[in-house]
Amino acid sequence: MTHRIINFSAGPAVLPLEVLEEAQRDLVDYQGAGLSVMEMSHRSPHYDAIHRNAIEGLRSLMGIPDDYAVLFLQGGASLQFSMVPMNLMHPARKADYIITGAWSKKALEEAKKEGEVRTAGSSEQTGFDRIPEASELDLDGEADFLHFTSNNTIFGTQWKSEPEAGDVPLVADMSSDILSRPIDVSRYGLIYAGAQKNLGPAGVTLVIMRKELLERAPESLPTMLGYRTHADKNSLFNTPPCWSIYMVGLACRWLQRQGGMEAMEKRNAEKAAKLYDVFDNGDFYRGTVEVASRSPMNIPFRLPSEELESRFLETTKEVGMTNLKGHRSVGGIRASIYNAMPPENVDRLVELMREFERVSG
């Protein structure tokens, strides 16, 4: 039998076993084509079907309207920190950013290189332990866009509904909660996400954008950095990350078999509640974020001492669990339980936490 550890990594993260097995079956000979997806031309009929299938999968799962483009790009979510302002910070050359963690700060720093950037809200003062209230936001109605990070991978907070941006296009980094719940795409100007947490393997970055925004970019942009280049060629302007896109297509089909976005939201909430219940019904484990802002994807917590945290991590390793160490910038423990984390593995963690508390508490 295949040996699989229980992987709580924040990304690249666990993929559905069914998806990996499907890819394995087709690895050497893709459906009788006699070659692997990794070896086929991106202009071949086989790949064309794979590419269209991945786009269609996303469109139907997320209910993406026809006036939105779906793009497969490279360079990770980090390149989007630059591409978004390069393409969209026009004509006013100013943008608002809401700062809820390290990733939104990085996004803001890149945007500063393109124009005037304002912090329209922040939870930095309280150590990014929450999502700011609507009443705390100070939005510029003339900004070219408003940027926020829907789920904060490091700090474990999530927006429960998007900020009200009025007529200003809303831009969201959804790298760590894309496809985890239903969203109304029509409320957004642009959504981007690196694939390697909730969508598939690293190497492809999803961008979903309102087509009218394609017209904003200046002609002087380097060709590869313009969204229009990729939209005009259906993400086949140059060689796309074919294998990663193929895997995204398989992950979409898996999500459809699970019942789509409503079912995933329910399943994700149930998984997360099991861990949050441990914090709320005892004082050994302590959640680090405000209850109303808790993320169902990344769940950071502390134990009474760093020494106990080290022992806890050792214990998890002994039973085949990995990647539970908190991000190096915040310490503690972090369990990332994206879509593909089976509920029974969350149960195993909860059992282990209770047992560790019993013997150490």
Output the smallest distance, CB 210 to ligand PMP, in A. 21
Is the distance from CB of 275 to CB of 346 less than 8 angstroms? yes
Is the distance from CB of 337 to CB of 346 less than 8 angstroms? yes
CB atoms within 10 A of CB 24: 10
Output the smallest distance, CB 259 to ligand PMP, in A. 26
Is the distance from CB of 204 to CB of 248 less than 8 angstroms? yes
Which of these is catalytic: 103, 159, 243, 254? 103
Output the smallest distance, CB 253 to ligand PMP, in A. 23
Between 153 and 268, name the residue whose CB sits nearer to ligand PMP: 153
Alpha carbons 265 and 272: distance in angstroms, whole number: 11
Site for ligand PMP, rule CB under 6 A: 11, 76-78, 103, 149, 153, 173, 175-176, 194
Selection from 258, 196, 281, 288 nearest residue 10 by Cα: 196
Between 114 and 173, name the residue whose CB sits nearer to ligand PMP: 173
Alpha carbons 36 and 202: distance in angstroms, whole number: 18
Per-residue b or e along 152-173, where b marks 16 or more CB atoms closer than 10 Å to that residue's CB: bbbbbbbbeeebebeebbbbbb
Output the smallest distance, CB 101 to ligand PMP, in A. 7
Between 194 and 226, name the residue whose CB sits nearer to ligand PMP: 194
Between 40 and 198, name the residue whose CB sits nearer to ligand PMP: 198
Which of these is catalytic: 197, 243, 254, 271? 197
Burial class (CB in 10 A: 0-12, 13-18, 19+), 12: middle
Determine whether 159 is an active site residue: no
CB atoms within 10 A of CB 355: 12
Selection from 76, 147, 157 nearest residue 105 by Cα: 147
Between 30 and 104, name the residue whose CB sits nearer to ligand PMP: 104
Determine whether 167 is an active site residue: no
Output the smallest distance, CB 234 to ligand PMP, in A. 22
Which of these is catalytic: 94, 144, 159, 173? 173
Between 149 and 316, name the residue whose CB sits nearer to ligand PMP: 149
Determine whether 173 is an active site residue: yes
Output the smallest distance, CB 314 to ligand PMP, in A. 25
Q: Please spell the DSSP secondary structure of 255-309, one letter per residue.
A: HHHHTHHHHHHHHHHHHHHHHHHHHHT-SSSEE-S-GGGB-SSEEEEE-SSHHHH
- Name the closest residue to ligand PMP (Cβ): 76
Name the residues annotated as catalytic: 103, 173, 197
